[in-house]
Every structure is written in C-alpha cells, then in structure tokens.
C-alpha cells in the first residue's frame, strides 16, 4: 500500500523571509509550517529548527529534511518519520515537490485499516461458521437420507432372495415388491437432488435451452407424474391445475420450469394434510412475465425467511423434520432466477400455503448462455 | 504649596555617515547570531549585487564568511579562510557578526628583464 492517497496540499504556509517571531504561534499550533520563497517550495519549518538555529528570518532556520515519494510504502514512510522524529515530510515525485505527508494522517489511516481488517475478519469468520454449519447439516441429512432407504432395501432384497429359493412363485409378496419400489424411488430422488445441487453449485446448470412451451401439455404431465407418487395415494390427495388462458405462449427452458413445479408440488405433498388438494397453475400474466403458483392446505411455514436456504427443513410433525435433504426449495429458487424471475412464499391464511414464482415470457438473449 | 520646577532634559547627539552594506572586505557570521547567512546574503545581493561571495566554514563557532570578490581575485579563498581561522576566529563568538578589514598588498622581490 503506497502513501499516494495521504499526500496533502492542505497545510499552513509561510514566506521564507518572514520573521521567526511572527510565525512562532502558528508554528507551535500546527507543529510544522511549509515555507515558500517566491512561490517555490523552500522547506518545512519545525519548532526544533527554530530552537536549534535561532535566527531572525525563517529561511535561516530551515534545515534539510528527508523527503519521500508518493509511491513509497506506508511502512517506509512511517519508518522515515520515526527516524527523523518529524511531524511531516515533503513529498517529491520526479524531482518536483507535490505536497507533504503528515504523521497524524498515517496514524488515522492505519487505525481505519485495522478496523476494516477486523471487520473483514469477523465477516469471514461468520461465513466460515455458516459454511461449517451447512456442511454439517448437509452431511447429517445426506447420511440419514441415504442410509434410511438402503436400510430398507437391503433386508427386502435378502427376503426376496430367500423367497426365490422356494419353488412356489406365489410366495412372492406384491407388497414387498411395492415397498422395494417405493424405497428405491425415495433413494433415487435423493440422488437426483444431489446431482442437481452439484450442477448448480458448479455453475454447469446455467445453460438454458429455450423452446416454446405448451403449458397445457406440461401441466397434464405434471398431474400424471404426481398421481403416480406413493405419497399421493397414501395421503389420499387430490391435484388440480389451473390454466385459464390456453393460448398463453411462453418461451423458456421447459426442463427447468418443470423441475421447479416438481419440487414445489413435492414440497406441497409433504406438508399438506391428508385428503386435501394440491393446486398449481398460472396466477397472473403481465407484459413481460408470467406468475405461477403451487398451493396446499396444511400447517403454516414457521421459518419463512429461511425456507429457501440450503438444507433448511420444516418439521412435519411436532418431533420430526420432513424427509429429504432440504434442498428442493433452494434449487427451485436458483432455477427460477435463471429463468429471469423470483420466488416467494405467501401465507394466504393459517391453513393455506402458496408458493408464487415468476418467469420471463420470453427469455432475452442476455439470459441465454 | 510647592512650586513646580520645569523638567529639563539633555540629549547626547552624534551622527556619522553609514554606508550600506556596512562592510567592504570580509564579514564573519557566528553560528548562532540572529541573522543567518541566507537572509544576509539576500539583503546584500539586493544592495550590492554580485559583490560578495558566501562560504560556509567547518568551524565550531563560525558558520559562514562573506568575502568581497575583489579580494578573491587577488588571493585564493582557502588561503584567506586559513588566515581568518588563525587570526580572527579565535576572537569571535557564536552570536556575533564581525567586520574584518582585509587590505592586501602585494610585493615582488625583484623584477628582472632585458631591454
């Protein structure tokens, strides 16, 4: 760090041929005076100069002072000031006088720098702490989410292989097969979330494939995929899509848009009450954007401010956190941002939660990578 | 009632011609005299431009010496300062300015030549 920004031309000056008794008071007040002889720099007068060489005229009292350059480092200048015990030193660049550097200004600058470094250190420490917490949270979630289905799958496979040894094929239990399938699907979802998360974190997910989308078809696909999910049948849910304007034309990345809906619908199914309805569709059309929604009935979200954070999970019972890694909403948020929009959660009333997100009607070239 | 006698005063008055600068030959400046060599040099330069030269000397009491150029034409400055160091500096003090009259005469022992 150089001292360029500390060089000042704001100081008290005195004529070289002034009497020392004239400038006494001013000299004591400021600690130094810059001396000029017919507009040309002549030197810096200090009380020490006047004491050591007590002459009538200022110019006769001046002693040669070490000078510094504006490109000199803070340390170099500070050492020079300490060695000479001077309050200020002249600055010369390319042989020309450009100003003075004052000890007090350096001290203040160092104090500010120290404070700034302390704040930065504190900030980094907090970020590190958060990163550690996230890492721990992730590892805990991951460990549980991977182990749980595997703990279910392995015994099932053992049982099936035992049954296979029996010659009677009707011994196979369809429930076992179904359970195996459900457990495998849960495991697969965790793996898909992990892969999607790693793509987003590594920046590979920013590539956008824009096509014209048929919303009606997409909504039908979402409904049919949802009803096949075990949770849908277990909780006896219903799903409803809303698309009033079937002529709505949207040009965006269909895969990413569908992933957003899939995550939000998955989330809604997790938290809605049994025998309730999950609804999704178009909420509002504006000049450049379209807003979509996914809503469900169920308990209200406790941590609305943190719900989009990675690995943040709500409890779906008084004692248990919901299933999953806690990355679905965070991934949805990132995908929505890629599509030029934003996402928020609305609490319509105590028993109804709605996620609303917007995307651009037409992705600009600037949005494409 | 006392009578008030008129107050009397006497003045001792004298005057003489003063020439500026107040010296012709050599000025010796003490290290701690009120007038420094730069101030003196500038004022002499204003009064009698280009007549004097200033030399700093390496001495514990004397700071600088002003020598008239016409003397320097006749005798080298080192020789002049050597003489001053031996004959004058021991009698000067730090806070003084001394005026030195330095009249130089040159003698030739013999002048030979052919007609």
Give the burial class of A306: count Cβ atoms within 10 A of its Cβ; 0-12 exposed, 13-18 middle, 19 or more buried.
Answer: exposed
A60 interaction partners in chain B (CB closer than 8 Å): 35-39
Are the beta carbons of B36 and A17 separated by less than 8 Å?
Answer: no
B37 interaction partners in chain A (CB closer than 8 Å): 60
Are the beta carbons of A57 and B39 separated by less than 8 Å?
Answer: yes
Tens of pLDDT, residue by residue over A27-74, are: 999 999 999 999 999 999 999 999 988 899 999 999 988 899 999 998
CB contact set of A196 (below 8 Å; sequence gap of 6+): A205, A259, A327, A331
Residue A368 near chain B (CB below 8 Å): no
- With a cut of 80, say whether residue A315 has pLDDT above it: no
- With a cut of 70, say whether residue A322 has pLDDT above it: no
Tens of pLDDT, residue by residue over B43-99, are: 888 888 889 999 999 999 999 999 999 999 999 999 999 999 999 999 999 999 999
Q: What is the DSSP letter of B105?
A: -
Average pLDDT of the residues in A354-364: 86
* The pLDDT value given to residue A59: 93
Strand A33-37 relative to strand A13-15, pairing: parallel
Mutate to test the interface with A, among B38, B42, B45, B94 (most CBs of A within 10 A): B38
B113 HSE (CA, 13 A, CB side)? 2
Are the beta carbons of A60 and B42 separated by less than 8 Å?
Answer: no
Return the SS3 of B102.
coil
Question: What are the C-alpha distances in Å from A188 to residues A56, A185, A233?
Answer: 94, 5, 19
* The pLDDT value given to residue A151: 77
Residue-by-residue DSSP string for B27-89 = EEEETT-SS-HHHHHHHHHHHSTTSEEEEE---SSEEEEEEEHHHHHHS-HHHHHHHHHHHTG
A49 interaction partners in chain B (CB closer than 8 Å): none
- With a cut of 90, say whether residue A309 has pLDDT above it: no
* The pLDDT value given to residue A62: 92
- With a cut of 80, say whether residue A179 has pLDDT above it: no
Q: What is the mean pLDDT of chain A?
A: 83
> Binning pLDDT at 50, 70 and 90, where does residue A368 land?
very low
Of A130 and A134, which is predicted with more confidence?
A130
Least confident of A126-130, A159-163, B87-91: A159-163
Tens of pLDDT, residue by residue over A144-154, are: 777 777 777 77
* The pLDDT value given to residue A366: 40
Question: What are the C-alpha distances in Å from B106 to residues A241, A258, A295, B80, B113?
Answer: 127, 117, 122, 14, 19
- With a cut of 90, say whether residue A91 has pLDDT above it: yes
- With a cut of 80, say whether residue A227 has pLDDT above it: yes
Of A184 and B87, which is predicted with more confidence?
B87
Least confident of A13-17, A158-162, A222-226, A339-343: A158-162
Q: How far apart are CA A246 and CA A303, in angstroms?
A: 36
- With a cut of 80, say whether residue A246 has pLDDT above it: no
How many of the other CB atoms lie within 10 Å of CB of B52?
A: 25
Residue A19 near chain B (CB below 8 Å): no
Average pLDDT of the residues in A286-294: 91
B41 interaction partners in chain A (CB closer than 8 Å): none
Q: What is the percent of chain A with per-residue pLDDT over 70, rounded to a whole number?
A: 86
Nearest to A45, CA basis, from A71, A12, A2, A70:
A12
Are the beta carbons of B36 and A61 separated by less than 8 Å?
Answer: yes
Q: How far apart are CA A62 and CA A252, in angstroms?
A: 77
* The pLDDT value given to residue A325: 64
- With a cut of 70, say whether residue A167 has pLDDT above it: no
Q: How far apart are CA A12 and CA A31, in angstroms?
A: 10
Give the burial class of A318: count Cβ atoms within 10 A of its Cβ; 0-12 exposed, 13-18 middle, 19 or more buried.
Answer: exposed
* The pLDDT value given to residue A330: 85
Q: Can you tell me the ipTM of this complex?
A: 0.72
* The pLDDT value given to residue A92: 94
* The pLDDT value given to residue A367: 45
Least confident of A180-194, A263-277, A308-322: A308-322
Tens of pLDDT, residue by residue over B4-53, are: 778 999 999 999 888 777 778 999 999 988 999 899 999 888 888 889 99
Nearest CA in chain A to B63: A53
Average pLDDT of the residues in A200-210: 72
* The pLDDT value given to residue A132: 82
A18 interaction partners in chain B (CB closer than 8 Å): none
Are the beta carbons of B36 and A59 separated by less than 8 Å?
Answer: yes
Element (H, E) at B100: strand B97-100
- With a cut of 80, say whether residue A323 has pLDDT above it: no
């Amino acid at each position: 760090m150089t001292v360029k920004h500390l060089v000042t031309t704001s100081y008290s000056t005195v004529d070289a041929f002034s009497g020392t008794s004239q400038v006494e008071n001013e000299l004591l007040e400021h600690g130094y005076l810059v001396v000029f002889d017919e507009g040309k720099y002549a030197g810096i007068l200090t009380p020490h100069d006047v004491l050591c060489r007590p002459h009538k005229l200022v110019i006769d009292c001046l002693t040669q002072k070490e000078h510094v350059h504006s490109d000199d480092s803070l340390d170099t200048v500070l050492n020079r000031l300490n060695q000479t015990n001077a309050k200020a030193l002249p600055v010369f660049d390319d042989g020309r006088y450009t100003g003075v550097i004052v000890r007090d200004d350096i001290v203040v600058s160092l104090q500010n720098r120290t404070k700034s470094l302390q704040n930065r250190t504190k900030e980094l420490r907090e970020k590190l702490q958060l990163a550690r917490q996230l890492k721990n949270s992730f590892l805990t979630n991951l460990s549980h989410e991977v182990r749980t289905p595997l703990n279910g799958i392995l015994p099932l496979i053992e049982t099936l292989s035992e049954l296979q040894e029996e010659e009677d094929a009707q011994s196979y239990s369809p429930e076992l097969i179904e359970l195996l399938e459900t457990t495998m699907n849960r495991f697969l979802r965790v793996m898909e979330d992990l892969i999607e998360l790693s793509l987003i974190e590594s920046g590979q997910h920013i590539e956008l494939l824009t096509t014209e989308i048929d919303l009606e078809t997409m909504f039908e696909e979402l409904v049919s995929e949802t009803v096949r999910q075990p949770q849908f049948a277990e909780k006896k849910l219903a799903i409803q899509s809303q698309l009033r304007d079937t002529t709505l034309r949207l040009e965006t990345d269909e895969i990413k848009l569908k992933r957003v809906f899939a995550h939000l619908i998955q989330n809604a199914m997790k938290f809605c009450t049994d025998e309730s309805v999950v609804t999704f569709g178009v909420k509002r059309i504006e000049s450049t954007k379209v807003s979509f929604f996914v809503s469900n009935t169920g308990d209200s979200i406790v941590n609305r401010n943190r719900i989009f954070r990675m690995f943040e999970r709500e409890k779906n019972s008084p004692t248990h956190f919901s299933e999953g890694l806690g990355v679905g909403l965070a991934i949805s948020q990132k995908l929505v941002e890629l599509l030029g929009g934003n996402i928020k959660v609305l609490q319509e009333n105590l028993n109804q939660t709605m996620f609303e997100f917007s995307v651009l009607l037409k992705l600009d070239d600037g949005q494409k990578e | 009632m006392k009578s008030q006698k008129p107050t009397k005063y006497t003045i001792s008055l004298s005057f003489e011609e003063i020439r500026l600068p107040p010296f012709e030959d050599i000025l010796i400046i003490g290290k701690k005299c009120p007038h420094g060599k730069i101030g003196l040099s500038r004022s002499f330069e204003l009064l009698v431009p280009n007549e004097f030269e200033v030399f700093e000397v390496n001495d514990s009491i004397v700071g600088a010496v002003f020598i008239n150029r016409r003397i320097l034409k006749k005798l080298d400055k080192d020789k002049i300062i050597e003489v001053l160091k031996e004959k004058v500096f021991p009698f000067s003090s730090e806070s003084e300015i001394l005026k030195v009259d330095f009249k130089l005469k040159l003698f030739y022992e013999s002048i030979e030549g052919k007609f």
